[in-house]
Amino acid sequence: MNSKVWIGLLGISLLILSACNPNNDITGDIVADSNDSCSTLTGSAKDTCYLEAKKCSKVASSTLRDSCVVELAKINNDLEACNLIQNNKTVAYCQEQIAIATNDQRICSNMEEGYWKDNCNYQLGLSNNKEDFCGLVIDLRQREKCFQEVALETNNYKMCRYFSEDFRKNKCFYNIAVDLADVKVCRWINSQTSKDACVKKIARNTENKELCEGIVIDLIKEDCYAMFK
């Protein structure tokens, strides 16, 4: 067999082998998977595509991959999935999201990262109107905000005592007293002016002139009686 015939047969054989391999084009490179539309993209666009498709293992960026795992964990209420996350703060955020979704405060208690642990107890305190959960919040302002929201939602005026600032404490007592139309709650206010204003407000709302007599400051008492003339 002469050399030209041999070369011709070899070329035909290579073409046949190439055609039989669906993963290779003529140059022998891998062709994109027709079932994976993200594979044809590059860089951040590719990661974003896999993130939206919830194919977390294929996301190259560790930050985006962690975010992807959080979303999957939330969808499945899968606390164990949070352990697959690399960043500790994101792990805590994932745990907080599962705790809220499942209304399980025990998850909050087992968390180590301070910010998300506080936020976990805060959110469950509000959603359950639970004074005890609010008390577990370490950050002072967030803890008091939790107490305030629960106190106003439940009209539990005794919770107003937890505030460190007199202004906020008095405002809490005032709002609940007016909402309950209960002058006894007004007496918890430690400012006489605010206490009398509280009684006057209830007298107006309930159209009860007799309540004006319990006001101590003369000017406020006169204003109270004047409302009924």
**DSSP labels, the chain:** --HHHHHHHHHHHHHHHHHH-TTB-TTSPBPPPTT-GGGG--HHHHHHHHHHTT-GGG--SHHHHHHHHHHHHHHHT-GGGGGG-SSHHHHHHHHHHHHHHHT-HHHHHT---HHHHHHHHHHHHHHHT-HHHHTT--SHHHHHHHHHHHHHHHT-GGGGGG-SSHHHHHHHHHHHHHHHT-HHHHTT-S-HHHHHHHHHHHHHHHT-GGGGGG--SHHHHHHHHHTT-
pTM for the model: 0.72
pLDDT at 23: 35
How confident is the model over 91-118, as a mean pLDDT?
Answer: 96
pLDDT band at 21 (very low <50, low <70, confident <90, very high): very low
How confident is the model over 129-137, as a mean pLDDT?
Answer: 96
CA–CA dist 224, 212 (Å, integer): 6
pLDDT at 56: 81
Q: Which two three-digit tokens encode residue 3? A: 């050399």
Task: Check pLDDT > 70 for residue 83.
Answer: yes
How confident is the model over 34-55, as a mean pLDDT?
Answer: 77
37's CB contacts (< 8 A; 6+ apart) are: 49
pLDDT band at 45 (very low <50, low <70, confident <90, very high): confident
CA 94 to chain centre: 10
How confident is the model over 80-103, as a mean pLDDT?
Answer: 94
8 Å CB contact between 186 and 170: no
Tens digit of pLDDT for each residue in 173-211? 999 999 999 999 999 999 999 999 999 999 999 999 999
pLDDT at 94: 95
pLDDT band at 35 (very low <50, low <70, confident <90, very high): low
For the chain, the structural domain boundaries read 43-154, 158-229
